């Protein structure tokens, strides 16, 4: 299922100065009350929801597949994005899209056929995205930049929630933004890992158009109120 037009424009950051999109990460939710948290964060102004799909091999942890987004899909109109931290991500494209996920992030290291895999995401009716680890050079993205509508910049090493932000990520986001401008491309630049009230502003100024927030959203107090606080910190 594709994004609705307004949701797609928001996710792609197509308009300069557009409000920052914030995507709560399911990895940090209380799994005993997923539905209630989805409903509350929808009302609080989340742009969508982010699902971390892990296979225990590409990253150490094992999470979930299509079952969780399928169960939650009826409870919010907002788009779902899935970050596939898995080898052979091709096997999960159709099940996740069928479950209501409308954007898929694939890692270039996860398959020898990343170009083909991104094409399969688009053919399935979803938004193709690419994810890049902190230690992966940006040059790895260049062969597929024209194929993607969103780039997920990992600002921690993937696989675990609650990690500290890697400070060199700020320069990395700025470098990616400059690369895209040279190529005349305008995908979303979304950051994932260690995004909180201190890092969200500098990342925004470096070129981030969307933020995935997990543990900082649920660390203290009401997650919905924390979401509004992060929106204010980013100047939304």
Query: Could you say which of 94, 192, 196, 222 is catalytic?
Result: 192
Q: What is the DSSP letter of 62?
A: B
What's the angle, vertex CA 177, arms to CA 223 and CA 157, rounded to 5?
50
Judge whether 225 and 207 are in contact, CB under 8 Å.
no
What residues contact residue 31 under an 8 Å CB cut-off, 6+ apart?
none
Token digits for 148? 């993607």
* Helix/strand/coil for 21: strand
Instruction: Decide if 5 is catalytic.
Output: no
Query: Could you say which of 5, 6, 52, 196 is catalytic?
Result: 52
**Taking Cα atoms as reference points, which of 50, 5, 20 lies closest to residue 188?**
20
Token digits for 228? 């509004």
Give the torsion through C-alpha atoms of 9, 168, 164, 81, to 10 deg. Answer: 20
Tallying the residues shown for the chain, one arrives at: 236
What residues contact residue 139 under an 8 Å CB cut-off, 6+ apart?
none
Q: How far apart are CA 139 and CA 144, in angstroms?
A: 10
Find how far residue 72's CA is from the centre of its chain.
17
- The catalytic residue positions are 52, 192
């Amino acid at each position: 299922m594709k994004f609705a037009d307004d949701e797609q424009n928001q996710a792609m950051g197509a308009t300069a100065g557009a409000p920052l999109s914030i995507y709560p990460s399911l990895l940090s939710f209380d799994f005993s009350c997923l539905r209630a948290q989805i409903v509350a964060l929808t009302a609080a102004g989340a742009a969508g929801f982010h699902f971390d799909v892990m296979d225990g091999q590409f990253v150490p942890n094992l999470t979930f597949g299509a079952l969780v987004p399928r169960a939650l899909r009826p409870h919010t109109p907002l788009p779902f994005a899935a970050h596939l931290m898995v080898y052979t991500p091709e096997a999960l494209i159709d099940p996740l899209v069928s479950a209501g996920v409308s954007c898929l992030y694939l890692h270039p290291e996860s398959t020898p056929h990343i170009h083909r895999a991104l094409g399969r995401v688009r053919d399935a009716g979803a938004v193709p995205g690419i994810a890049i680890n902190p230690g992966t050079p940006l040059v790895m993205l260049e062969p597929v930049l024209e194929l993607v509508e969103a780039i997920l910049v990992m600002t921690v090493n993937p696989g675990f929630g609650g990690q500290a932000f890697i400070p060199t990520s700020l320069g990395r986001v700025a470098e990616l933004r400059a690369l895209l401008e040279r190529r005349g491309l305008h995908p979303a630049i979304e950051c994932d890992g260690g995004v909180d009230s201190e890092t969200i502003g500098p990342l925004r100024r470096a070129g981030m158009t969307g933020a995935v927030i997990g543990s900082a959203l649920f660390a203290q107090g009401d997650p919905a109120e924390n979401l509004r606080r992060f929106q204010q910190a980013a100047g939304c």
